[in-house]
Amino acid sequence: MKKKILWWAGGVLAFFLVVIALLLIFRSRLLDYAIQRVVAKVEAKYPADLNIKNADFVDLNSVLITGISFVPDNRDTLFVTDSVYATVSIRSIFRGSLVFKRLEVRDGYLTAVKKENQNNYSFLLEGNKAAPPDTSSGEGRNYGELLNRLIETAFDNVPDLVDFNNLNVSYHSTHRTIDIKMPYLKMDDGHFDTQLAIRTDSLVNKLRVTGTIDPGKYKIAANLYATGQQDIKIPYIKDKYNAEVSFDTLHLSLTDKTFKQDKLTVRGRGQVSHLVVNQPKLSDEDIRVKEAAVNYVVTLGPDLYVIDSLTEVRVNEVKANVYAAYHNADAKIIDLRVKTGQMQGSDFFNSLPQGLFENLEGIKAKGTLQYKMSFHLNMDSVDRVKFNSDLDASKDFKIVQWGNTNIEKINGSFVHTVYEYGKPVRTFVVGPSNPFYARLNEISPYLRNAILTAEDAFFYTHKGFHEEAFRQAIAKNIKEGEFARGASTISMQLVKNVFLTRKKTVARKVEEAIIVWLIENLDLVSKNRMFEVYLNIIEWGPNVYGAKDASRFYFGKQPSELNLAEAIFLTSIIPSPKNYRASFDSHGNLRNWKSGYYRLIGGNMLRRGLISREAYDNLYPNVQLYGRARDLIVTEPDTTSIQEDSIKYELETIDLLDF
């Protein structure tokens, strides 16, 4: 029995020795066969030639491959390298394929070139030669399918061990030049490490990238660190958006992907530290965020782009769930929702980006806040746009310490400076010590009510915002394709004038909204006081500020003495006070087009019971100028023509106002 076992073992050993001997004898042929299979597979899939000059075993399972190039049909060479040293899976050779266990590449060059309408790289995304150029579902391109193919192509070609030296990637077109130098790239057991020097035109970034990768599960996590003296700067932002964006650390990850029913869903995380953004339309200063992060769930499909509501965005300490969707199958539909949990008021103010809201920096608060916003727009029915925005506070919420600006200062006398184009043009006291200051009861009810009717009819009942007016403004601005209409309440105009610069930036509008919310919801200032301050600081002409100054400038009287026609005229120029002269002809008479405004405001005042029927019946669009305004406006003091024009306007207005 013992002899039989020894004989059997010896036979098995002999068999394996024969196999190894045959493998050693024929492995070069097997390698050539495997390489031919790989080349044939690549060239069948892509319109390109994969050239390999020579491949030889240098030991039992290590191969040296030289003269590798990848050349698209009738295009510039895409990739070339002098040598690749690889440890190959012997089992894969028997299957007619090449699976690299270890891959060492020296002096590799990947060069993407775009000349006019031709390039040497887009074929990689087009798939098989026989496939149609547009692989999307329906008429539009399916970017979910496109991205899924790109992810799988990249991950399926990742070896186990990598040791690259002197890799160079470049992109050249008529308008762009990108050069990436990678002195090394090492990957072992799913961990990778590399350094990069990236030149995009004149901008150079130096960084290190480390992370982990699991090709089988399509997972990757990468960390980018600035290694030079400067932070990492995003290229081309300045040219395209007139902005500059930089950071010192960035984390990006893909944790999961699924592709079902022509839809790709990807999940992952992003985090950035010491983010700096400069864009004049956002803010006139650098916006600085200590840390921001996003846990994202994004779906792409035919005519569909969705940021799932599971997506969480964090700015410093404040977190919010975000949902955004764009459908463009039958109609272009946009949805946006933002919702925070209960957050501490102190966390909210501490998390506001530095340089974005100057007046709010340093505020300390007690209690909690919660924000909700929803937006829905169908481009086929813009007038039905929906918008809701709510910031709710707990019952114990209050400001325990003001920061850069004491918002409650408007309850007493304060010094106000008027700015134009960022420069101060006039400074005056808003309070009784100023002889041009008028208390609310010293201003004609005609003027007060005309302004409320024209500017903010619900001032005394709303909490600083008029959502319906805002919704209508959104609809009009979308249809006009530009900022054609605002939705400012008197509360918002007051805050803009007292606390903010006149620059139209996104930051200023958001800061304005927050300050208005604080004033109105915490009852920091009464409505009467707000209206009184508003009437004493708004502009009404050339260096004319406040109701008393305006009354004396145009009519040589006190604001309490203004009649209805004078009040409506002063109301009419509030939106554009510097164009006050355009309201008059050379004789000092109101122009014909003012009749429509008088009819509108007077009619609304009558319907609301703010003026009597008699006052309305006696209203016509004309005023008598006195004082400085007359000297500036009237260039032909012909009393005859003035009388004739006055009669003409009176007759025309009787026609217009009769209903």
Would you say residue 89 has pLDDT above 80?
A: no
pLDDT confidence bin for 140, thresholds 50/70/90: low
Tokens coding 463: 């909490």
Q: Is residue 7 part of a domain?
A: no
Helix (H, G, I), strand (E, B) or coil at 603: helix
Contact predicate 516/490, CB 8 Å: no
C-alpha to C-alpha distances, 250 to 246, 279, 292, 454, nearest whole angstrom: 10, 21, 10, 50
What is the pLDDT at residue 417? Answer: 92
Domain count, the chain: 2
507 and 619, same domain (yes or no): yes
425 and 469, same domain (yes or no): yes
Distance CA 469, CA 454 (A): 13
487 and 340, same domain (yes or no): no
Contact predicate 470/509, CB 8 Å: no
Q: Is residue 452 part of a domain?
A: yes
644 and 556, same domain (yes or no): yes
What is the pLDDT at residue 12? Answer: 42
Would you say residue 606 has pLDDT above 90?
A: yes
Q: What angle do the packed helices 564-572 and 547-555 form, to 10 degrees?
A: 110
569 and 623, same domain (yes or no): yes
Higher pLDDT residue, 582 or 476? 582
- Residue whose tokens read 């709010």: 360
Beta bridge partners of 633: none
User: pTM for the full model?
Assistant: 0.78
Higher pLDDT residue, 37 or 317? 317
> Please, what's the b/e burial string for 460-485 (b: 16 or more CB within 10 A of its CB; e: otherwise)?
eebebbbeebbbbbbbbbeeeeeeee
- How confident is the model over 36-81, as pLDDT tens digits? 887 888 888 888 888 888 888 877 778 888 888 989 988 889 889 8
High-pLDDT (> 90) share of the chain, %: 57
Q: Which domain does 566 fall in, by range?
A: 407-657
Would you say residue 143 has pLDDT above 90?
A: no
- How confident is the model over 342-383, as pLDDT tens digits? 999 999 999 999 988 989 999 999 999 999 999 999 988 888
pLDDT confidence bin for 100, thresholds 50/70/90: low
What is the distance, to the nearest Å, from the Cα of residue 637 to the centroid of all Cα atoms in its chain? 55
Q: Is residue 184 part of a domain?
A: no
Tokens coding 547: 């109701």
566 and 628, same domain (yes or no): yes
Contact predicate 150/92, CB 8 Å: no
Contact predicate 384/396, CB 8 Å: no
What is the distance, to the nearest Å, from the Cα of residue 440 to the centroid of all Cα atoms in its chain? 42
What is the pLDDT at residue 10? Answer: 45
Q: Is residue 90 part of a domain?
A: no
Beta bridge partners of 233: 246
Distance CA 413, CA 468 (A): 34
395 and 417, same domain (yes or no): no
User: If you average pLDDT over residues 31-37, what whole number do you get?
Assistant: 77
Would you say residue 421 has pLDDT above 50?
A: yes
Q: Which of 571, 561, 569, 559 is nearest to 435 (CA)?
A: 559
Q: Which of 246, 245, 240, 243 is nearest to 226 (CA)?
A: 246
Tokens coding 447: 């003027």
327 and 449, same domain (yes or no): no
384 and 426, same domain (yes or no): no
Tell me, what amino acid is at 384?
R
C-alpha to C-alpha distances, 26 to 34, 255, 312, nearest whole angstrom: 12, 43, 58
Ranges 40-44, 122-126, 571-575: which has the least confidence: 122-126
Tokens coding 23: 């493998």
pLDDT confidence bin for 567, thresholds 50/70/90: very high
427 and 526, same domain (yes or no): yes
CB atoms within 10 A of CB 136: 16
What is the pLDDT at residue 84? Answer: 84
Q: Which of 487, 463, 488 is nearest to 475 (CA)?
A: 487
What is the pLDDT at residue 644? Answer: 45
What is the pLDDT at residue 62? Answer: 80
SS (H, E, C) 126-190: CCCCCCCCCCCCCCCCCHHHHHHHHHHHHHHCCCCEEEEEEEEEEEECCCCEEEEEEEEEEEECC
Which of 336, 370, 405 is where one domain is finished?
405
368 and 501, same domain (yes or no): no
Tokens coding 340: 């925070």
3-state helix, strand, coil in the chain (%, to 5): 35, 35, 30
Q: Which of 31, 18, 94 is nearest to 57 (CA)?
A: 31
Tokens coding 548: 């008393």
Q: Is residue 179 part of a domain?
A: no
- How confident is the model over 378-408, as pLDDT tens digits? 988 888 889 898 999 999 999 999 999 999 9
Contact predicate 588/626, CB 8 Å: no
- How confident is the model over 623-636, as pLDDT tens digits? 999 979 999 999 87
609 and 532, same domain (yes or no): yes
Which of 381, 405, 429 is where one domain is finished?
405
Which of 387, 405, 423 is where one domain is finished?
405
Distance CA 201, CA 180 (A): 11
- Residue whose tokens read 């964090």: 314
Q: Is residue 240 part of a domain?
A: no
Q: Is residue 580 part of a domain?
A: yes
Distance CA 340, CA 319 (A): 6
pLDDT confidence bin for 98, thresholds 50/70/90: low
Pairing type for strands 343-344 and 544-545 reads: unpaired
Would you say residue 250 has pLDDT above 90?
A: yes
Q: Is residue 611 part of a domain?
A: yes
Distance CA 557, CA 548 (A): 8
What integer best gives the mean pLDDT of the chain?
A: 85
The CATH number linked to 650 is: 1.10.3810.10
